[in-house]
Structure 1
């Protein structure tokens, strides 16, 4: 086992938000190989950036000598976690769930070693779908206070708009998952995003009440921007780990364009770079912060898609934004900062850059999906471009597949 305590590693890198019993967890992780679990909702055939932080935490824990259980919600996925949702999600067949589980394992194998029982894939459908309702409520429902459950954020927000009894059972089922994993594999700890805190506490307390044994919970900071919006979303939806859903270049570009304030945090959470290097890169200022952004994008893309794809994405990005040897000289237009103080329509910007002969042609191109700004497809011709769209004073327009044009701000 690694000499460095896994708790200290996670804390130093910025993962930990809350712990049920911090001192006991640190002691436990230092003295034995701990089996822990993280739950994944199998509603898609790929993991996305929202999952990636927990995957990295799992990898750090395994490298420090502990054993992860990846629990896929084949049973709970048929109900739907009300956390951070305002509506019910569609239910899935067992075949759909299994296909998604197989895809998850392939992606996770880049970060988690499944050989020789070093990690376990489990599916809560194995026990949840065979439960007898009256027995379950009698034996386990008795340990949950409805009053207390309604204070949980996940229920309170849904309660105002309508929370079905179906969904209300979610906390009981997730708590029961922890109990089953404790009984089957000696699992003593549940890890997850901080939005899972109430559900995790439910499981910790259930094991302590039913088995009279210690169990623990640890939550991670959520991946958010400085204005508290969840990271990992673009205009086209989620940023996926599957290269068929989000190309390695698009994936690279997403991280290359993160806001300056998030760079050091993302380097700590989403790369394996030593913390001295993370702090060095995070301390870079002004235009030098682009060096840190490039390192961030390269490292994450390398870990997810491999070194070759990361190098290709890096070369393409450099060619595009700097007019490098691979991309030739990119035409550029300079506009005054005062011109966009109140925003400028995308059509007007295309005209200023001499990319369209007429406004009608601009509307046609946008309607056909032929215009991208900073690698994001423009969906509406009334889109307004503001100073916020410029990264380090630059904005890249793509017309069709081959025409690139850089717009820079003056002033």
Structure 2
């Protein structure tokens, strides 16, 4: 199957400059396409996974995708989808973020991935060179018609700086550079990037006399209308220190039945036939949540690896499947995957529940204690304070703290 057709049946083609020509572009093996990622945080998040996995789909189909790291554009900040100016970041912070992001991308691609950094060409541009060689190809009228600019100009209280107004020119220059240097004539991205991407196709037409193409993915929302990628604790990151792998896995396990098949198409490499089987399972036996389990397994394996996934699944079986007959067995199953907190001096139990993210406030945590919803080392606990005896500590320094059926963490004592 032509990879464009695969992206289409998966529901991943939202806007495309010319569907027939893009399909034709991919009819020849070894075609180059790219997607840019600015380091707005020291980790990618699940919202970045659609374009990232799509690059991997292109690679598996025999093409040559480029992951473009925004070491240069990250110094400016993309106004697309933002109500206010971004806080400018230092080069040191961007460099540190890119190092972490590179490791995440290499894991997902299995180590074989083409990464470019636009700092390599943008930082050597002079202001005069940019204005003469790039800026002359754009009219202010044309730039102001783009949604990312119009939205901000319409808000007199915020407006848009010349810095962020110029962002689309830099992104267009990236596309032109990759077209000239590597024959890359397709850029992909989120739906909010349409204006920036088409600025690049226009620059390539004017400067190089070539026809380039644009394609965007749909904005992903959940069945209840919420933006995809957030949990009660905030964004779901690929970095295990920012989002523990168990929380990452649980995020996918909690997918609504109305969303799970769509998300399997977006985020996994399962075939149409396999996904069709899970669609029937959701309709006939939704209580088993088979599709959610497969979705969580596929994405967690891709991001964190087989060994981490196996540990999470052992912990899940021990916690919910009756696989653990004692606190010690449960600790052995979850010690590498459960969220944890560490203290030199133990606070009260409500504070521990808040620190683990199990309760929104100490007042709410006290209510959970009164209701008998809190357990320490598998035993119901209702007191405000807990002073562990040596026999209560597993591994010499930790005990289990659970709230309800789904929240289980470790409390560790500093030596």
* TM norm. shorter chain > 0.5: yes
Report whether the alignment pairs 1:152 with 2:146. yes
Separation in 1, partners of 2:178, 2:402: 55
Distance 1:147 1:326, change over 3 A: farther
- The equivalent residue for 2:302 is 303
Distance 1:397 1:259, change over 3 A: farther
Shift of residue 406 of structure 1? 4.0
Separation in 2, partners of 1:39, 1:383: 43
Distance 1:213 1:32, change over 3 A: farther
Which of 308, 311, 323 matches 1:325?
Answer: 323
Which of 330, 334, 358 matches 1:377?
Answer: 358
- The equivalent residue for 1:136 is 130
1:141-290 mapped onto 2 (5 Å cutoff): 141-159=135-153, 160=155, 161-283=158-280, 284-285=282-283, 287-288=286-287, 290=289
Shift of residue 379 of structure 1? 2.3
5+ unaligned residues in a row in structure 2: which ranges?
Answer: 328-347, 366-371, 377-399, 407-415
| 2:160 match: secondary structure | coil
Aligned partners of 1:282 and 1:289 also within 8 Å: no
- The equivalent residue for 2:383 is none
5+ unaligned residues in a row in structure 1: which ranges?
Answer: 330-363, 385-395
Residues 280-326 of structure 1 deviation map (CA, whole Å, 9 limit, x = unaligned)? 21231363461111111111111111222212222323443x35222
Separation in 2, partners of 1:114, 1:371: 38
- The equivalent residue for 1:341 is none
Structure 1 stretches of 4+ with a deviation exceeding 4 A read 381-384, 396-400
Shift of residue 80 of structure 1? 0.5
| 1:377 match: secondary structure | coil
Residues 192-232 of structure 1 deviation map (CA, whole Å, 9 limit, x = unaligned)? 11111111111011101111101111111233212432221
Separation in 1, partners of 2:363, 2:221: 28
1:389-408 mapped onto 2 (5 Å cutoff): 401-406=400-405
| 2:237 match: secondary structure | coil
Aligned partners of 1:281 and 1:289 also within 8 Å: no
Aligned residues: 353
Distance 1:398 1:136, change over 3 A: farther
Separation in 2, partners of 1:170, 1:264: 36
- The equivalent residue for 1:340 is none
Structure-2-length-normalised TM-score: 0.78
| 2:125 match: secondary structure | coil
Separation in 2, partners of 1:404, 1:382: 14
Report whether the alignment pairs 1:96 with 2:90. no
| 1:402 match: secondary structure | strand
Separation in 2, partners of 1:156, 1:377: 42
Shift of residue 157 of structure 1? 2.5
Distance 1:212 1:318, change over 3 A: same
Structure-1-length-normalised TM-score: 0.79
Distance 1:380 1:274, change over 3 A: same
